[in-house]
Amino acid sequence: MEMIVYTAIFGDYDVLRPPFPGSDCRHVCFTDGDYQCDGWEVIRVKREFSTPRLDARRCKLIGPWEMFGGKANTLWIDGSIKISTPISNLAAEFLLGDKEAALFPSRFRTCLHDEAQECIDLKKDNNEIIRDQVARYEHEGMPRNFGVGETMVLFRRPSKQCEEFCRMWWKELRSGSWRDQLSFDYCRWKTNLPVAWLNGNISNNPFFTLYPTHPNPRKTKMVKIKVVVMNHNTPDTSTELYRKLCTVFDVVVFDSGSDKDKRPKCPYESYE
């Protein structure tokens, strides 16, 4: 079955990054802006809501059915995510038995109550809306420490069960907090959706690169920092260090060239 990679950028919130070189998978970006990027099919969408957040969330939550007709496997990526591996590798990682969806577990929390408190502390949404929503979930019997998913990367099959889950997710978001991670696991619990937890986390995995939020130069003044690393006969563990650095910084590696076959590998690296 076809797999479609898609994203949504509204209100000039993010930048559109090129797909991994050589990808033969369809890449679709829904937007209200004038984005152009080789490898992406850019579809202009008329705004329906007062905030661009909701327009983007609509594409994210129910896009597989509203935009693609429920006929393809879909891989959602936030605007802050770039695929850093061939799509064929993703297919092998994501197509997991009878699971209906796949995503990374939270890097920081395993309980929705802790996630909600973090949103309150960081003023991510109205405090009362968040508290009332989580209190309702607890009243309905949702267990604590049920798990928290990070929805910046989300694979879904076009099944009836997954559609039921996503439409409930959208309904919860429309009636509660716009923070979709607050309602994701509740809906997963209510619909008994089989979910595969991917190895690693969103900022520590070989498949995706997480960039800082709000990187659009039209919205935010960004200072690009370049890290220079001197490399001489370093052990293989340096590969992991370099990969983590590359999620945030531009990295230049000066290598002695003494053992090119064993030198560490680093995505988007420059060896000199």
Over range 197-219, report the average pLDDT.
80
Structure tokens given for 50: 């007062």
- pLDDT tens-digit readout, 155-180: 999 999 999 999 999 999 999 999 99
- pLDDT over threshold 80, residue 248: no
Q: What is the rounded CA–CA span in Å between residue 184 and residue 195?
A: 11
All residues at 6 or more sequence positions from 126 whose CB lies less than 8 Å from its CB, including other chains: 177
The separation between the first and the last C-alpha atoms of the chain, rounded to the nearest angstrom, is: 43
CA–CA separation, 38 and 36 (whole Å)? 7
Q: Which of 26, 27, 23 is nearest to 9 (CA)?
A: 27
Share of the chain above pLDDT 90, in %: 65
The kind and range of the H/E element at 137 are: helix 127-139
Question: Does residue 77 surpass a pLDDT of 80?
Answer: yes
Residue 268 binned pLDDT confidence (cut-offs 50, 70, 90): very low
- Describe the chain by its helix, strand, coil percentages, rounded to 5: 30, 20, 45
- Strands 3-9 and 250-255, by their bridges, are unpaired
Residue 175's CB: how many other CB atoms inside 10 A?
A: 11
Say which residue, 267 or 153, is predicted with more confidence: 153
What confidence tier does 147 reach under pLDDT thresholds 50, 70, 90? very high
Beta bridge partners of 227: 251
Q: What's the CA gap between 75 and 60, in Å, rounded?
A: 10
